[in-house]
Structure 1
Amino acid sequence: MKKTEINQIIAEHRSALNSIIALRRTMHTVNLLESPLIKQHGITLTQFGVLEILYNKGDMRIQDLIEKMLTTSGNMTVVIKNMIRDGLITREPNPNDKRACLISITDKGQEFIEQILPDHYRNIGNIFNVLTEEEQVVLVSLLKKFRTLS
């Protein structure tokens, strides 16, 4: 494909291309503002995500965690192994499905996440204070439209 054809395609889809760039830059900024608070507690963002999901949603199969966290199975295997080693979670056979395991938060993991969550939720609130409450509602509504694509 020639450069002129590519430039024509760019021109036809400029708004969409600008949107994806803005979305990616925004997520990069949010991650930069979110991660220091998590890292100061000595865990990774993925470990924090596992604890937060288990704390709020309860026991979960590894595959369900992977889907909720939008991560790979290889990465999640290492994360879970390290978190079990640190006593934050456990892995037990799923009584309803012998092929799967359930991941559960331990008392230590619950105490740990309860120390972080209030500051984390305040931090997220501060990050999104750049938008009004109405704008935040509109943003969520707009972003949910992308769920229809999958």
Structure 2
Amino acid sequence: MGSLDENPAVKAMVVFRKAMRTIDAHVASSYKNNGLTQTQFSVLDVLYAKGEMTISCLISSILATSGNMTVVIRNMERNGWIYRTPNPDDRRASVVGLTEIGKQLIQKALPEHIALVEESFSVMTEEEQLTLINLLKKFKPKQR
């Protein structure tokens, strides 16, 4: 039985996770400085970029769990950052979107976040970043 370090797939996963933790730690101040958690920042960012959407679509967009998202959405709604309305196509579901306060908050937080992401990835050339994007796209779930 060989060492896990000799298994390229396992080694790649470990290196990938360490890199992701390093990047996450580096950009954390961009949402913490604005009184946000990482999940709250992600919700504001997705809604700002894509507009209002159902909660299930939001959950899949930011890879969160439904239990956690319920609490996050409730707190964000209470803070006045997002609104929730019944989905006209399915009354059992809700649609969420940004309030003006939420829009202002993400517009304030985004420039610092983008600068920190760019700083994190400055260890690679633009060509290397594009290569990384193409390699990581191979992990997309297969359509059924």
Q: CA RMSD in A?
A: 1.6
Trace 1:68-79 onto structure 2 (pairs within 5 A).
68-79=61-72
Question: What are the ranges of 5 or more consecutive residues in structure 2 without an aligned counterpart?
Answer: none
Q: Over alpha carbons, which structure has the higher Rg?
A: 1
Q: TM-score, normalised by structure 2?
A: 0.94
Structure-2 separation of matches of 1:63 and 1:26? 29
Question: What are the ranges of 5 or more consecutive residues in structure 1 without an aligned counterpart?
Answer: 1-6
Structure-1 separation of matches of 2:134 and 2:56? 27
What displacement does 1:149 show?
A: 4.9
Identity between Structure 1 and Structure 2 (%):
43
Trace 1:17-32 onto structure 2 (pairs within 5 A).
17-32=10-25
Structure-1 separation of matches of 2:64 and 2:141? 20
What displacement does 1:10 show?
A: 4.5
Q: TM-score, normalised by structure 1?
A: 0.90
Higher relative contact order (Cα pairs below 8 Å, separated by 6+ residues) = 2
Structure 1 residues 70 and 148: alpha-carbon distance in aligned structure 2, compared to 1, 3 A threshold: closer
Structure-1 separation of matches of 2:70 and 2:141? 29
Residues 81-139 of structure 1, C-alpha deviation per residue, up to 9 Å, x if partnerless?
00000000011001122121100100010011111111111111111011000000000
1:34 is aligned with what amino acid?
V
Give the structure 2 partner of residue 121 of structure 1: 114
Give the secondary structure class of the aligned counterpart of 1:129.
helix
